[in-house]
């Protein structure tokens, strides 16, 4: 089987915003407590943060992290997480039926983000609270001093403001599960007024308004049309969320699901364009895909806690999906879709970062380890920044009940800004056959293979664990670049990254 195409240096989709490869930490399960924060752990720093986790976050080069939720934010009082720890209240978290100790708040998370070499993307509570608490939180976080909230921050030990640039106006406000769920009109009004007030503080800030929680919502895509009608001229992004699952165990259908993702993005890009024309606006609004991941392995195990049959535990084991090799291929396809649609998707957040449907797992008191999906995510983040290219590729494909002509090879290409290398991210969906790829390289000059990594040959259900990260990239062979042409055989059910340099 052959796939033939062209990569041209002039066929640029967009410059990839590095924040496309962001992630997410919510006060949920063990994401925070025994995830990023575990005083007494052998690697804990002076702030109680696990250095082994910080090292893995830095390895993945995570550019931005959304915090503190998620569903959690819709019942969260940010003031509970400031001041002396011994005076902070324990609260009942209605979102995940857990107890929140508030031992980690904005100060602790900001220190962790700095240590992990990432930036904060903060969310405000528009569920149980509203404009006034959002305005106060912004003043606390970003004002230098001389006001009530900024002086309180200084009293609590942080002299300089954090200057957080991007803010989420609530979370999944269309969802019946959300505390403070709103209709599109209700949410559009409060989001508009909140953004307007926060912009009065600083016009340079960026705001993310809530879009649909998934394309399965009954209100999709009318929700986006209504919310954007209210907010278009005061916000910068509309959020989309989507999770991927394979309860049926159908590999071909599972690995074609990014066709649904592509449709989702295309539809909302159309709503954005329509609203821009309707408003006669000169500004552009983009997509923040700030929740996405594979999520189905742990759902049954979570029911006891989420349904309230376990009382109000603190940091219970929740949403701890253990990812397999099949999920590597899925995550690779999702990331490739984001790269190909980086003209409209500017921010992305893998949900989540540690322990909770996460690429990084921890053992309390023990090691941190990389799940199988850590690797395609880290490779995209480290090598997928630059100019996304529009490839021309002819490849045999297959059809499913929801998508026609799904190509066996899913490919994205980025001309990297840091070193000028051309990086190809490739997934072969075919379950039994290799695909011989021949790619003409136009406008790149002489190139050679400078890195070639592959994940292949594993049982689809094989997983990593704290004692063995056996599902990991290794050096590949057989790819060659000569005479302006790349040739490589892509093995069945494999993830491959090939980098071409001068």
Distances (CA, A) of 483 to 78, 419, 501: 59, 21, 14
- Is residue 418 scored above 90 in pLDDT? no
How far, in Å, CA of 452 to CA of 463, rounded? 23
Distances (CA, A) of 338 to 65, 140, 264, 388, 458: 17, 34, 12, 10, 26
Q: What percent of the chain has pLDDT over 90?
A: 98
**What is the average pLDDT across 188-196?**
98
* CA dihedral angle for residue 109, residue 115, residue 121, residue 122, rounded to 10 degrees: 20
pLDDT band at 311 (very low <50, low <70, confident <90, very high): very high
How far, in Å, CA of 274 to CA of 222, rounded? 12
pLDDT of residue 417: 83
**What is the average pLDDT across 261-275?**
98
Given the residues 100, 291, 326, 415, the one annotated as active site: 291
Cis status of the peptide bond prior to 68, with omega within 30 of 0:
yes
- Is residue 282 scored above 90 in pLDDT? yes
Is residue 291 among the annotated active site residues? yes
How far, in Å, CA of 367 to CA of 319, rounded? 19
How far, in Å, CA of 414 to CA of 12, rounded? 9
Contact 411, 384 (CB under 8 A): no
For 5, other C-beta atoms within 10 Å of its C-beta total 17
pLDDT of residue 478: 95
Residue 243, token pair as written in the block = 């999770």
pLDDT band at 179 (very low <50, low <70, confident <90, very high): very high
**What is the average pLDDT across 397-426?**
95
pLDDT of residue 497: 98
- Per DSSP, the three-state class of 440 is strand
Closest to 16 (Cα-Cα) out of 441, 499, 424, 414: 414
pLDDT tens per residue, range 327-355: 999 999 999 999 999 999 999 999 999 99
Q: Show the CA angle centred on residue 447, arms to residues 443 and 451, nearest 5°.
A: 130
How far, in Å, CA of 449 to CA of 461, rounded? 31
The mean pLDDT value of the chain amounts to 97
- Per DSSP, the three-state class of 498 is strand
Half-sphere exposure in the Cβ direction for 323 (13 Å, CA) = 32
Residue 179, token pair as written in the block = 């505390």
How far, in Å, CA of 239 to CA of 349, rounded? 10
Phi, psi for 177 (deg, rounded to 5): -80, -15
- Is residue 299 scored above 90 in pLDDT? no
Please tell me the total number of residues recorded for the chain in this structure: 502
Contacts of 17 (CB under 8 A, 6+ apart): 342, 346, 347
How far, in Å, CA of 213 to CA of 398, rounded? 29
pTM of the predicted model as reported, rounded to 2 decimal places: 0.97
Report how far apart the first and last C-alpha atoms of the chain are (Å, whole number).
29
Contact 454, 467 (CB under 8 A): no
Contact 68, 372 (CB under 8 A): no
**What is the average pLDDT across 159-187?**
98
pLDDT of residue 162: 98
Is residue 442 among the annotated active site residues? no
Closest to 427 (Cα-Cα) out of 387, 379, 386, 371: 379
- Is residue 300 scored above 90 in pLDDT? no
Task: Provide the edge-to-edge strand list for the sheet that holds 485-490.
Answer: 392-394, 2-8, 435-442, 485-490, 480-482
In what helix (H) or strand (E) does residue 184 lie, and over which residues does it extend? helix 184-201
Residue 238, token pair as written in the block = 């509309």
How far, in Å, CA of 424 to CA of 427, rounded? 10
Closest to 319 (Cα-Cα) out of 43, 97, 19: 97
The one-character DSSP state at 41 is -
**What is the average pLDDT across 152-161?**
98
pLDDT of residue 321: 97
pLDDT tens per residue, range 51-79: 999 999 999 999 999 999 999 999 999 99
Q: Pairing mode, if any, of strands 2-8 and 392-394?
A: antiparallel
How far, in Å, CA of 208 to CA of 47, rounded? 30
pLDDT of residue 109: 98
Given the residues 172, 224, 320, 456, the one annotated as active site: 172
Phi, psi for 448 (deg, rounded to 5): -140, 160
- Per DSSP, the three-state class of 147 is coil
pLDDT of residue 301: 82
**What is the average pLDDT across 227-250?**
98
């Amino acid at each position: 089987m052959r796939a033939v195409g062209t990569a041209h240096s002039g066929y640029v989709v967009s410059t990839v915003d590095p924040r496309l490869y962001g992630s997410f930490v919510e006060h949920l399960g063990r994401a925070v407590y025994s995830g990023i924060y575990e005083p007494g752990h052998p690697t804990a720093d002076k702030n109680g943060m696990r250095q082994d986790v910080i090292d893995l976050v830095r390895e993945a080069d995570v550019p931005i992290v959304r915090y503190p939720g998620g569903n959690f934010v819709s019942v969260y009082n940010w003031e509970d997480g400031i001041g002396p720890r011994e005076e902070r209240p324990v609260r009942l978290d209605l979102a995940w039926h857990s107890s929140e100790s508030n031992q980690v708040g904005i100060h602790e998370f900001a220190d962790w983000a700095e240590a992990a070499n990432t930036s904060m993307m903060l969310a405000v509570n528009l569920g149980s609270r509203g404009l006034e608490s959002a305005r106060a939180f912004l003043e606390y976080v970003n004002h230098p001093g001389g006001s009530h909230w900024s002086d309180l921050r200084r009293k609590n030990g942080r002299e300089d403001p954090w200057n957080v640039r991007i803010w989420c106006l609530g979370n999944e406000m269309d969802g019946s599960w959300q505390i403070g769920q709103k209709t599109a009109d209700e949410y559009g009004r409060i989001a508009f007024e909140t953004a307007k007030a926060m912009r009065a503080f600083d016009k340079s800030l960026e705001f993310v308004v809530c879009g649909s929680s998934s394309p399965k919502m009954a209100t999709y895509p009318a929700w986006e049309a209504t919310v954007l009608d209210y907010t278009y001229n005061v916000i910068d992004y509309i959020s989309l969320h989507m999770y991927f699952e394979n309860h049926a165990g159908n590999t071909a259908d599972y690995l074609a699901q990014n066709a649904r993702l592509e449709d989702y993005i295309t539809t909302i890009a159309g709503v954005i364009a329509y609203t821009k024309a309707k408003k006669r606006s000169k500004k552009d609004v983009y997509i923040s895909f700030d929740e996405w991941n594979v999520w189905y392995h742990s759902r049954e195990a979570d029911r006891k806690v989420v349904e309230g049959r376990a009382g109000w535990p603190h940091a219970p084991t929740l949403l701890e999906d253990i990812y397999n090799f099949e999920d590597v291929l899925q995550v690779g396809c999702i990331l490739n879709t984001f790269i190909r649609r980086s003209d409209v998707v500017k921010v992305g957040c893998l949900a989540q970062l540690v322990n909770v449907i996460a690429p990084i797992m921890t053992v309390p008191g023990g090691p941190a380890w990389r799940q199988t999906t850590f690797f395609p995510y880290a490779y995209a983040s480290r090598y997928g920044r630059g100019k996304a290219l529009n490839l021309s590729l002819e490849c045999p494909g297959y059809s499913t009940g929801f998508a026609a002509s799904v190509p066996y090879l899913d490919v994205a290409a980025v001309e990297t800004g840091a070193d000028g290398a051309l990086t190809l991210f490739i997934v072969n969906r075919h379950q039994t056959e290799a695909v011989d790829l021949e790619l003409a390289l136009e406008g790149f000059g002489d190139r050679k293979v400078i890195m070639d990594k592959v994940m292949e040959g594993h049982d689809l259900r094989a997983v990593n664990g704290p004692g063995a990260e056996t599902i990991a990239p290794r050096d590949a062979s057989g790819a060659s670049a000569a005479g302006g042409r790349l040739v490589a055989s892509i093995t069945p059910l494999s993830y491959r990254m090939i980098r071409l340099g001068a």
